[in-house]
Each structure stands twice: as structure tokens, then as C-alpha cells.
Amino acid sequence: MPELPEVETIAQILAGTHDAAVLSVIGCEIQDVSVLWGGTLANQEPSDFIARVKSQRVRSVSRRGKYLVFTLSKETLIIHLRMSGDLRLEKVTDESGAVVPLHKHDRLALVFTDGTRLAFNNTRKFGRVWLVSDTKEVLENLGPEPLADELDAKHFHEMLQQHKRQLKPLLMDQHFIAGMGNIYTDEALYRAKLHPIKRSNTLTKEESACLLDSIRLVLQEGIRHNGASIDWVYRGGGFQNHFNVYGRTGEPCPICGTQIERLVVGQRGTHICPGCQQM
């Protein structure tokens, strides 16, 4: 599943602010809509969605947690890619003028007046799309953004003290903090030298501050490398070449040389250095 750095990279590409951006949806007016699988829409019937979204113009593209947020001229389009979702911005026709066919697992397509098309490819059908007048309908219960200035070490420590949960499941809880997933949680806990099953309310102020710094460090590094490409869904990232523990079972720790171990924490595969991350 794309995590915060991957979703941030996609948002920047679609907004035309990323170095890799070729096309942009900013300022584009939606001319036509194809709903190829109705289950993609989380809160509308296809006919209602099409009627409402047509002729709206894209004002901005941003990210909230793992959600992509398209601010339109009247409403807001929100997309969650989940396990296998992908967005593809392309020209509708090729150089010969022939219409470029949609892909097998495309579930939704927005055609813009400038001749471009945004296709939502969703192989496993887990991804969802919302069209809302108020983003609170979807985003209200998300936790704070880990990179936001408003989240300081004192507040983060207070948040941790309010729970008695294991660190890894808590950090992956989108109601606690938004955007963290399996990869970046493992990497952040490693950098903070904290064991993933350590209880959150046992952390000292110093450990909490170190964990917040580590979370920000791995997320910012992930964004710099355009996220991580580790499966067939998300491509183009390079952060997988800089993992310290994730997916490195049996390999030596970059710091102490101890073999990386794989555990199961909260039903998720978890990678640690038993030398650096002691209970």
C-alpha cells in the first residue's frame, strides 16, 4: 500500500510541482467521466457522481495522510489508493490521433478539456473515491500529520502517554497519526532504537522526541527518493535502496552488524535489529 511519501510524490506529480511531472491536472476542466466499476465510488451512485463532477475544474492537488485530495471548483474529490490503486495521467490520443485504450483494471476515468485523462487503476478493487462538499466527511477522524509544525515533541509525548498500546500498531493507526504504514514505521522505530512491541505509555520524553524525529527523518528521506518501489503497483521510487531493516531479514544491521530479524507484530510482518532495538 502506498504510504505518505508515495502519496505525496503522486500529489506533486499531478500538481506539476515535481521534477518528474510531464502533465498536470491543475486548471483542467472535467469534460467526461467513465465509471467502469461502480464500487469504486464510496458515497455516490455513478449517475449522481458523473452529473456532479462534470464541468468542475481542478484547483489544487494535495495530500492528507494517505489520501489524495483534489480541490475542485465546487466540491472536493478524494482518492484512497489502498492496496493496489494507481493513478495515471495521460493524453487521450496518441501521435496518430488514435484513442489510447484504457487498461484492463481501470475503474474510473476523468477526461479533461485539454485532451488529457486521469485513470484510476485499481486491480484488487480496494481503492475508493469520494466526491464531497466538506472534506470532514472523509478526513475528520485522521490523526495529525507527522510532518506538520503543529505536532511538537511535547504534544507527541502526551499522545503516546494516552495509550498503552504496542508502538508499531499504534503508529500505523491512522486515527493516531496519519500516513504511516509498514515500511516507514519499521524504519522509524529502528532509527529511534525502539522495539515495536514496547508500550507507548512507557516512553520517556526523550524517547518520544527521538521517535518523532526519526519518523520525520524517514518520511522526508522517502519523499526525497520519490517513495519506495517494492511491488508491481507503485513504480518510480528509490527509497527501497536505502532501507536499514525493512525486507532485510538475515542481513547485517548497518550499525552493529547483528542479523536483522522478522517478527509478526499486530499481524504485520515487522523487521528489527535485535541488537539496536532491545526491550
Residue 169 lies in a domain: yes
* Catalytic status, residue 158: no
Residues 8 and 133 in one domain: yes
Q: Could you give the CA distance from residue 3 to residue 6 in angstroms, rounded to a whole number?
A: 6
Catalytic residue among 8, 63, 64, 66: 66
Catalytic residue among 91, 125, 205, 268: 268
Residue 278 lies in a domain: no
Residue 63 lies in a domain: yes
Q: What is the pLDDT along the chain (279 residues), one digit of tens a residue?
A: 789 999 999 999 999 999 989 999 999 999 999 999 999 999 999 999 999 999 999 999 999 999 999 999 999 999 999 988 999 999 999 999 999 999 999 999 999 999 999 999 999 999 999 999 999 999 999 999 999 999 999 999 999 999 999 999 999 999 999 999 999 999 999 999 999 999 999 999 999 999 999 999 999 999 999 999 876 556 678 899 999 999 999 999 999 999 999 999 999 999 999 999 998
Residue 100 lies in a domain: yes
Assign residue 249 the CATH number of its domain: 1.10.8.50
List residues bridging with 109 in a β-sheet.
34, 119
* Catalytic status, residue 3: yes
Tens of pLDDT, residue by residue over 174-209, are 999 999 999 999 999 999 999 999 999 999 999 999
Report in angstroms the alpha-carbon separations of 14 from 58, 67, 118, 259, 263: 11, 14, 9, 40, 37
Report in angstroms the alpha-carbon separations of 240 from 14, 169, 215, 225: 23, 22, 16, 9
Residue 92 lies in a domain: yes
* Catalytic status, residue 2: yes
Q: Give residue 234's pLDDT.
A: 63
Catalytic residue among 3, 6, 8, 187: 3
Residues 50 and 129 in one domain: yes
Domain end residue (candidates: 139, 171, 206): 139
Domain end residue (candidates: 139, 168, 202): 139
Residue 146 lies in a domain: no
Prediction pTM value: 0.95
Q: Is 238 left (phi over 0), alpha (psi -120 to 50) or beta?
A: alpha
Residue 144 lies in a domain: no
Q: Could you give the CA distance from residue 69 to residue 214 in angstroms, rounded to a whole number?
A: 26
Q: Give residue 156's pLDDT.
A: 98
* Catalytic status, residue 150: no
Q: The domain containing residue 247 runs over which residues? A: 153-272
Assign residue 134 the CATH number of its domain: 3.20.190.10
Domain end residue (candidates: 107, 139, 171): 139
Residues 79 and 44 in one domain: yes
Name residue, grid cell 475508493.
Answer: 128
Residue 145 lies in a domain: no
The domain tally of the chain equals 2
Residues 124 and 159 in one domain: no
Residues 116 and 209 in one domain: no
Comparing C-alpha atoms, which of 138, 118, 155, 161 is closest to residue 32? 118
Residues 129 and 197 in one domain: no
Residues 14 and 117 in one domain: yes
